[in-house]
Structure 1
Amino acid sequence: MAMWIQAQQLQGEALHQMQALYGQHFPIEVRHYLAQWIESQLWDSVELDNPAEEAKAKRLLDNLVAELQRKAQLQGGEDGFLLKIKLGHYASQLKSTYDRCPLELVRCIKHILHSEQRLVQEATNASCGTGGQAMDTLSQRHQQINQAFEELRLATQETENELRKLQHSQEYFIIQYQENLRIQAQLSSLSSLPPAERTQRETTLQSKRATVEAWLTREASTLQKYRLDLSEQHQKTLGLLRKQQTLILDEELIQWKRRQQLAGNGGPHEGGLDVLQSWCEKLADLIWQNRQQIRRCEHLTQQLPLPGPMEELLSKLNSDITDIISALVTSTFIIEKQPPQVLKTQTKFAATVRLLVGGKLNVHMNPPQVKAIIVSEQQAKALLKNESTHSESSGEILNNNCVMEYHQATGTLSAHFRNMSLKRIKRSDRRGAESVTEEKFTVLFESQFSVGGNELVFHVKTLSLPVVVIVHGSQDNNATATVLWDNAFAEPGRVPFIVPDKVLWPQLCEALDMKYKAEMHSGRGLSEDNLVFLAQKAFTSSSNNPEDYHNMTISWAQFNRESLPGRNFTFWQWFDGVVELMKKHLKPHWNDGAILGFVNKQQAQDMLMSKPNGTFLLRFSDSEIGGITIAWVAENPNKPGERLVWNLLPYTTKDFSIRSLADRISDLNHLLFLYPDRPKDEVFAKYYTPPLSKAVDGYVKPQIKQVVPEFTTPNPEPSGGTPTFMDQTASPSVSHPNNFGVYPPMSDAMLDADGDFDLEDTMDVARHVEELLRRPMANQWSSQQS
């Protein structure tokens, strides 16, 4: 309800915009009396493009109607009688309007709530001057645009008034011209009169004719001047329209598209499309009004031809205004929801296109059809250079035709492609070392609109962001690299799909940080120390000074074509492996600050050797994609008095699907403090799996626990003599015992104090325990006769 309270305090233009959100599709009274209920519902959880969500939308509709009916029944007394009738009427109206299309109700309310939030935010920023310099700049720019619209409205109103004066003057001129013709006709008919009478009448008529002709001569000159002045005013208005349109289309819309592209890398969501639509609709309205005025001027000129350049001037004005409206229509045919940029064949995908001026120009009166095809980079270049008018396809997309629908509640005209699928793709010959995951395509959406009753017909096209087509999930990693590089470093207005081969290291850091934050769903991104670690890995450098990397450039080949020294994977493949591991299993721990991650082995050793035994940290493996290891400091079990830093065999996604990180750390009782000095239970206890329940149906459930043999001792049996599953205790100073009960001695070393494990010569502890659990375990488990 807090939002509605703030919305009611809006003033001026903001209040008018808020009021305009409501109407028969959703009465403002419903918003007022159900404010708290409306704001408490999870409208954003409904996916509007997913037909399967219709049942959820239907429940929301039914609940809304029920709330209205309940509210109506609560109204009592004389004052509440009319309100009771009105709310009951609204309940029936909403039920009948949206019962067959409940998703439209959700779309309507989401649009209203988001618009109210924007208006309140803008008003708050304007009144208190907060929100930072960026918000101040944004508000100033919006204010500049709104002021320009007010100037255009006044200029258009002025030319409308002048046009009416011209029309009135011309109509009076024509009447007087007809009067002159009547006088001439009378003079011609005087020959039949007697001479005396004829002379008297002739003198009177000639005097009258002279007066009228003198007036006509003066008025013709005045009309010509009116026409020229009006033409000049229209030229000025068109200049203002063109300037305003350039600002909105070439700056604001381009910036929105850039934000949309960065959103593909995890940047902020590309909001503001409703604001853009309102501006484009104002433009369309003003352009159309001026075009109609110019056409009326043409009609007046044809009705009363006068000597002068008016015909040429009006023809030029008509041509200019048609060019302006053509640019507006073709530029505002945009992709609201992009298709996935990594596109797998034989997989369903969706996209939404929208015409920002569709409602104002009544395009929906003759609903246009939109077609989607996939084209190559070379075909996209040819289309933008107008070298190809025929759109050839580089593949076959199923369900690639869709009719645009007008949503009255939001005033949007859009086409939702919900079930497209790329059946096949035709690839071009690749250059040099380029792989299939570096080849870019784009989805082309095209349609044809008629405006003003087929008076103007526009053929429109728009290209999606570049997509990389894959046929197997194993290609996703490299395809994502191509997309990230393109999204991060593409320049506005580029030739498809040119990107720099090299970029400054800080530019790439910004892109990596954006991606990482988005995947972690947290404000905790990559620190300066993290970025230095990544720079060391990318450039094979040992410098710890961030300044040393500020002017260095990294090439695409270094990013994801050439393997890192001594490894069989690239820089990006390693980084993406980390992101995937964190996203799937370790996100809470990263957001808690429990994972240092970007620390090499030597750094880990230096950090831990100054700490008490049992201190540990978590760092990403250098040798394995998507691996994380535990490094800890302890005494050497075989050499009392000697302290070493140990590194556990790296865990991967497969390991955490068996047992979580928190549970694994809980199992290892020799791990005491998370670096620098936090007790491990303080950090991880909230993530521990609860103890297993007691025996059910006469059976005891086994459990998996991991151990590190060098740091494990068996517990004594509890009183009563019944053996239990061994619990591990921290014993960093005890040497390796000869027998571990259920864990037989292992010939392969489980630990390595000097380097990462050789994956071919070792076995993961969890998998080893899992294998053991399948063997007979005499005297090692508490048992019960079944």
Structure 2
Amino acid sequence: MAMWIQAQQLQGEALHQMQALYGQHFPIEVRHYLAQWIESQLWDSVDLDNPGEEAKAKRLLDNLVAELQRKAQLQGGEDGFLLKIKLGHYATQFKSTYDRCPFELVRCIKHILQSEQRLVQEATNTSCGSEGQAMDTLSHRHQQINQAFEELRLATQETENELRKLQHSQEYFIIQYQESLRIQAQLSSLSSLPAAERTQRETTLQSKRATVEAWLAREASTLQKFRLDLSEQHQKTLGLLREQQTLILDEELIQWKRRQQLAGIGGPHEGGLDVLQSWCEKLADLIWQNRQQIRRCEHLTKQLPLPGPMEELLNKLNADITDIISALVTSTFIIEKQPPQVLKTQTKFAATVRLLVGGKLNVHMNPPQVKAVIVSEQQAKALLKNESTHSDSSGEILNNNCVMEYHQATGTLSAHFRNMSLKRIKRSDRRGAESVTEEKFTILFESQFSVGGNELVFHVKTLSLPVVVIVHGSQDNNATATVLWDNAFAEPGRVPFVVPDKVLWSQLCEALDMKYKAEMHSGRGLTDDNLVFLAQKAFSSSSNNAEDYKNMTITWAQFNRENLLGRSFTFWQWFDGVVELMKKHLKPHWNDGAILGFVNKQQAQDMLLSKPNGTFLLRFSDSEIGGITIAWVAENPNKQGERLVWNLLPYTTKDFSIRSLADRISDLNHLLFLYPDRPKDEVFAKYYTPPHSKPVDGYVKPQIKQVVPEFTTPNPEPCGGVSAFMDQAASSSASHSNNFGVYASITENMLDPDGDFDLEDTMDVARHVEELLRRPMDTHTQWNSQQS
């Protein structure tokens, strides 16, 4: 409802654009009377490329029809009678129009709401000077483009008016020319008349002929000048069209494609395509109008040939306008939804291509078919250099043909490839240390468009962003590295698919931060301290000064080809493991600020030793991909009076699939305060799993809990101190009479003050639980036996 209130306050061109969104496909009265209901529905939850969600779209259609009928029934009295009839009619109209294609209704409403939001946002940015320099620049650029369109519209209207004048003048000239011929014919017929009468008539006709021929001579010169002036005006208009088209295609569209590429690594969504389409459609309208005017000039010139350079000028104008329209059509054939950039064979994937000027040029009157093929980097280079006229393929894609469809509601002409699958891939010979996950391919989409009733035919091609083909999920990590490096550092207009071998560390930091924030779905990205930690890891450095890394460069090999010092994995593999762990299991805790993460062992020790016993923090494991450990400060059980920092064996995705981080922290009563001084329940209690208190079907459900044996001895209740711990086993047996407490114990040889662990000595938690369930063991006996 709030959006509709704002939309009604639009002024001028913005108001006209908003009104143009509505028509018979979706009447504006429906938007007005159902504003609150429309804005409360989850239109964006429907995936228009997934046929399986048609039922969801159908429910939204049925609900809209029901809401219209309900609204109609509420109308009463004389004033509401007509509205009642109108709303009831709209309900019937929606049912009959969209019942067989409910996706079209969803697409229509999504387009309307997005366009309204854009128009309101642009109006707000224009009227408010405090939105920031970037928004001011964007608004100013859009204003310049719209102003240029207005100048082009006026110029085109002026040449149209001049062309009509020329046509009228030429028609009158032809009439007078015919009059001259008639006079000449009359003079020729005078020979049969008597001499006296012939002389009188001849004098009159010759005088009249002289007058007409003098007028024709003057008018021929005027017409020739008229034609030349008009051709000059057309030349100026075409120059303005070229400038406007260059601005839109070579700047705005390229920037949109760059935003689309950055979205592949977590950048802002590449919205604004509807704005680009509206500009491209205006260009198409103006270009076609000018082309028709030039064609009419040609017709007038052929109808009345006059001496001069008009034929040559018109040929040039024709060639120029054809070049302009060709560039527009071929450049606006774009990929709206990119195929996945890490492409697994034998796996279904989707993509959408769109022609931004399809509706205006009536391309849909002869629906074109689009074909998709996968090509190698070398083949892509040959295509762009026009060295290859046919599309060689590097693999076989199933369901790779699709007919473009015109959607009346949104005015878009697009082809939705919903069920493509890469059946096989043909790889090229690799160079040096290059692996299969560094080899890049691309999906080539090609079609043929007829414009103006087959008057012009264009063969169009467009390449997807680079894709890396994998055959197994284990290759995903390295393939993602190739994609991230390409998306982050590719230059516009590059030769496919050239990227720099090394970049500034600060540039990589921007890309990593973008990726991290996108995966966490929050604004909390990587801090300066986090980036210093990553620099230390990437460069095997000990410097804590961010300035030391500012001008350093990192190579692709350092990023994801060479292993980190003393490790069996690369920098990217470690970072990606952290991202995957956080995304799958720890996202809420990161967004709450509960995880420091990027802290090394020595830093953790220095931080914790200055805090009371029981203070702990969460940091990522240095030695294991996708691991996180708990470090805490406590008394040394073996030496009274000595305080140590302990590091728990790192948890991985496998561990959190058994028991969550919050529950594991809840299990460990010796953990009291999250660094620096936040009581742990204040931070984690909202994520604890409620205990099971009732048997299910006569069975008592066991619980899995973890124990650190060194820290399960009974302690008195804390009173002023922070070193008192409650025995987990005693607490469990006393408080859960209906539950059999199951403990996944961590034995002494799995834990030491330095946090160095022997992974071979660890026991799979699930297997351990299974053993304990078969063979119940008293936890105090277990503890005592370990102590002995």
TM interval, short-chain normalised: over 0.9
Q: Indicate how the Cα distance of structure 1 residues 572 and 784 shifts in structure 2: closer, same or farther if over 3 A, else same.
A: closer
Q: Indicate how the Cα distance of structure 1 residues 739 and 257 shifts in structure 2: closer, same or farther if over 3 A, else same.
A: closer
- Show CA shifts across 1:548-592 (max 9, x none): 101000000000000001000000000000000000000000000
Q: Indicate how the Cα distance of structure 1 residues 143 and 563 shifts in structure 2: closer, same or farther if over 3 A, else same.
A: same
Q: Is the 8 A contact 1:748 1:761 kept in 2?
A: no
Q: Indicate how the Cα distance of structure 1 residues 628 and 745 shifts in structure 2: closer, same or farther if over 3 A, else same.
A: closer
Q: Is the 8 A contact 2:263 2:270 kept in 1?
A: yes
Find the aligned partners of 2:465 and 2:554 in 1 and give their Cα distance: 24
Q: By how many angstroms is 1:739 displaced? A: 22
**Is the partner of 1:730 in helix, strand or coil?**
helix
Find the aligned partners of 2:485 and 2:226 in 1 and give their Cα distance: 59
- Show CA shifts across 1:352-389 (max 9, x none): 00000000000000000000000000000000000000
**Is the partner of 2:352 in helix, strand or coil?**
strand
Q: Is the 8 A contact 1:31 1:38 kept in 2?
A: yes
Q: By how many angstroms is 1:775 displaced? A: 2.1
Q: By how many angstroms is 1:768 displaced? A: 3.5
Aligned to 2:786: 784
Q: Is the 8 A contact 1:706 1:769 kept in 2?
A: no
Q: By how many angstroms is 1:784 displaced? A: 29
Q: Is the 8 A contact 2:335 2:351 kept in 1?
A: yes
- Show CA shifts across 1:173-210 (max 9, x none): 00000000000000000000000000000000000000
- Show CA shifts across 1:442-484 (max 9, x none): 0000000000000000000000000000000000000000000
Find the aligned partners of 2:21 and 2:739 in 1 and give their Cα distance: 77
Q: Indicate how the Cα distance of structure 1 residues 709 and 767 shifts in structure 2: closer, same or farther if over 3 A, else same.
A: farther
Find the aligned partners of 1:396 and 1:202 in 2 and give their Cα distance: 87
Q: By how many angstroms is 1:756 displaced? A: 2.6
Q: By how many angstroms is 1:736 displaced? A: 25
Q: By how many angstroms is 1:735 displaced? A: 25
**Is the partner of 1:641 in helix, strand or coil?**
coil
Which deviates the most, 140-149 or 53-62? 53-62
Find the aligned partners of 2:451 and 2:309 in 1 and give their Cα distance: 29
Which deviates the most, 727-736 or 404-413? 727-736
- Show CA shifts across 1:45-103 (max 9, x none): 01111111111111111111111111111111111111111111111111100000001
Q: Is the 8 A contact 1:532 1:545 kept in 2?
A: yes
Q: Is the 8 A contact 1:710 1:735 kept in 2?
A: no
Q: Indicate how the Cα distance of structure 1 residues 483 and 178 shifts in structure 2: closer, same or farther if over 3 A, else same.
A: same
Q: Indicate how the Cα distance of structure 1 residues 549 and 715 shifts in structure 2: closer, same or farther if over 3 A, else same.
A: closer
Aligned to 1:95: 95
Q: Is the 8 A contact 1:635 1:733 kept in 2?
A: no
Q: Does 1:403 find its partner at 2:407? A: no
Q: Is the 8 A contact 2:440 2:466 kept in 1?
A: yes
Find the aligned partners of 1:632 and 1:721 in 2 and give their Cα distance: 16
Q: Is the 8 A contact 1:637 1:732 kept in 2?
A: no
Find the aligned partners of 1:732 and 1:58 in 2 and give their Cα distance: 52
Q: Is the 8 A contact 2:705 2:743 kept in 1?
A: no
Q: Is the 8 A contact 2:72 2:83 kept in 1?
A: yes
Find the aligned partners of 2:639 and 2:784 in 1 and give their Cα distance: 36
Q: Is the 8 A contact 1:713 1:731 kept in 2?
A: no
Q: Indicate how the Cα distance of structure 1 residues 628 and 732 shifts in structure 2: closer, same or farther if over 3 A, else same.
A: farther
Q: By how many angstroms is 1:783 displaced? A: 24
Q: Unaligned regions of 5+ residues in structure 1, if any? A: none
Q: Indicate how the Cα distance of structure 1 residues 781 and 601 shifts in structure 2: closer, same or farther if over 3 A, else same.
A: closer
Q: Indicate how the Cα distance of structure 1 residues 202 and 252 shifts in structure 2: closer, same or farther if over 3 A, else same.
A: same
**Is the partner of 1:522 in helix, strand or coil?**
coil
**Is the partner of 1:6 in helix, strand or coil?**
helix
Q: By how many angstroms is 1:720 displaced? A: 32
Q: Is the 8 A contact 1:126 1:139 kept in 2?
A: yes
Q: Indicate how the Cα distance of structure 1 residues 138 and 222 shifts in structure 2: closer, same or farther if over 3 A, else same.
A: same
Find the aligned partners of 1:606 and 1:118 in 2 and give their Cα distance: 51
Q: Indicate how the Cα distance of structure 1 residues 413 and 695 shifts in structure 2: closer, same or farther if over 3 A, else same.
A: same
Q: By how many angstroms is 1:761 displaced? A: 2.9
Q: Unaligned regions of 5+ residues in structure 2, if any? A: none
Find the aligned partners of 1:90 and 1:332 in 2 and give their Cα distance: 35
Q: By how many angstroms is 1:737 displaced? A: 25
**Is the partner of 1:732 in helix, strand or coil?**
helix
**Is the partner of 1:704 in helix, strand or coil?**
strand
- Show CA shifts across 1:274-327 (max 9, x none): 000000000000000000000000000000000000000000000000000000
**Is the partner of 2:503 in helix, strand or coil?**
strand
**Is the partner of 1:393 in helix, strand or coil?**
coil
Q: Is the 8 A contact 1:371 1:446 kept in 2?
A: yes
Q: Indicate how the Cα distance of structure 1 residues 198 and 720 shifts in structure 2: closer, same or farther if over 3 A, else same.
A: closer
Aligned to 1:281: 281
Find the aligned partners of 1:768 and 1:135 in 2 and give their Cα distance: 59
Q: Indicate how the Cα distance of structure 1 residues 26 and 782 shifts in structure 2: closer, same or farther if over 3 A, else same.
A: farther
**Is the partner of 2:420 in helix, strand or coil?**
strand
- Show CA shifts across 1:412-442 (max 9, x none): 0000000000000000000000000000000
Find the aligned partners of 1:718 and 1:254 in 2 and give their Cα distance: 64
**Is the partner of 1:588 in helix, strand or coil?**
helix
Q: By how many angstroms is 1:252 displaced? A: 0.1
Q: Indicate how the Cα distance of structure 1 residues 172 and 422 shifts in structure 2: closer, same or farther if over 3 A, else same.
A: same
Which deviates the most, 557-566 or 696-705? 696-705
Find the aligned partners of 1:737 and 1:650 in 2 and give their Cα distance: 32
Q: Is the 8 A contact 1:468 1:483 kept in 2?
A: yes
Q: Indicate how the Cα distance of structure 1 residues 121 and 235 shifts in structure 2: closer, same or farther if over 3 A, else same.
A: same
Aligned to 1:586: 586
Q: Indicate how the Cα distance of structure 1 residues 362 and 782 shifts in structure 2: closer, same or farther if over 3 A, else same.
A: farther
Q: Is the 8 A contact 1:636 1:732 kept in 2?
A: no
Which deviates the most, 723-732 or 267-276? 723-732
Q: Is the 8 A contact 2:714 2:727 kept in 1?
A: yes
Q: Indicate how the Cα distance of structure 1 residues 92 and 100 shifts in structure 2: closer, same or farther if over 3 A, else same.
A: same
- Show CA shifts across 1:620-653 (max 9, x none): 0000000000000001000010000000000000
Find the aligned partners of 2:564 and 2:167 in 1 and give their Cα distance: 79
Find the aligned partners of 1:245 and 1:693 in 2 and give their Cα distance: 70
**Is the partner of 2:172 in helix, strand or coil?**
helix
Q: Indicate how the Cα distance of structure 1 residues 741 and 138 shifts in structure 2: closer, same or farther if over 3 A, else same.
A: closer
Runs of 4+ in 1 over 4 A off after TM superposition: 714-727, 729-748, 764-767, 779-786
Q: Is the 8 A contact 1:635 1:642 kept in 2?
A: yes
- Show CA shifts across 1:728-755 (max 9, x none): 1899999999999987998751311124
Find the aligned partners of 2:720 and 2:219 in 1 and give their Cα distance: 123
**Is the partner of 2:783 in helix, strand or coil?**
coil
Q: Indicate how the Cα distance of structure 1 residues 715 and 740 shifts in structure 2: closer, same or farther if over 3 A, else same.
A: farther
Q: Indicate how the Cα distance of structure 1 residues 169 and 316 shifts in structure 2: closer, same or farther if over 3 A, else same.
A: same
Q: By how many angstroms is 1:766 displaced? A: 6.6
Q: By how many angstroms is 1:770 displaced? A: 4.6
Q: By how many angstroms is 1:509 displaced? A: 0.2
Aligned to 1:450: 450
**Is the partner of 1:335 in helix, strand or coil?**
strand
Q: By how many angstroms is 1:125 displaced? A: 1.0
Q: Is the 8 A contact 1:709 1:736 kept in 2?
A: no
Find the aligned partners of 1:742 and 1:492 in 2 and give their Cα distance: 59
Q: Indicate how the Cα distance of structure 1 residues 733 and 546 shifts in structure 2: closer, same or farther if over 3 A, else same.
A: farther
Find the aligned partners of 2:194 and 2:606 in 1 and give their Cα distance: 132
Q: Indicate how the Cα distance of structure 1 residues 709 and 102 shifts in structure 2: closer, same or farther if over 3 A, else same.
A: same
Find the aligned partners of 2:234 and 2:79 in 1 and give their Cα distance: 54
Q: By how many angstroms is 1:127 displaced? A: 1.1
Scaled by the length of structure 2, the TM-score of the pair is: 0.95
Which deviates the most, 749-758 or 56-65? 749-758
Find the aligned partners of 1:101 and 1:494 in 2 and give their Cα distance: 41
Aligned to 1:338: 338
Aligned to 1:370: 370
Find the aligned partners of 2:632 and 2:782 in 1 and give their Cα distance: 30
Q: By how many angstroms is 1:765 displaced? A: 6.0
Find the aligned partners of 2:488 and 2:48 in 1 and give their Cα distance: 29
Q: Indicate how the Cα distance of structure 1 residues 348 and 741 shifts in structure 2: closer, same or farther if over 3 A, else same.
A: closer
Find the aligned partners of 1:770 and 1:13 in 2 and give their Cα distance: 71
Q: Is the 8 A contact 1:623 1:756 kept in 2?
A: no
Q: By how many angstroms is 1:785 displaced? A: 34
Q: Is the 8 A contact 1:488 1:511 kept in 2?
A: yes
CA RMSD of aligned residues (A): 4.6
Q: Indicate how the Cα distance of structure 1 residues 741 and 229 shifts in structure 2: closer, same or farther if over 3 A, else same.
A: closer
Which deviates the most, 48-57 or 253-262? 48-57
Q: Is the 8 A contact 1:636 1:733 kept in 2?
A: no
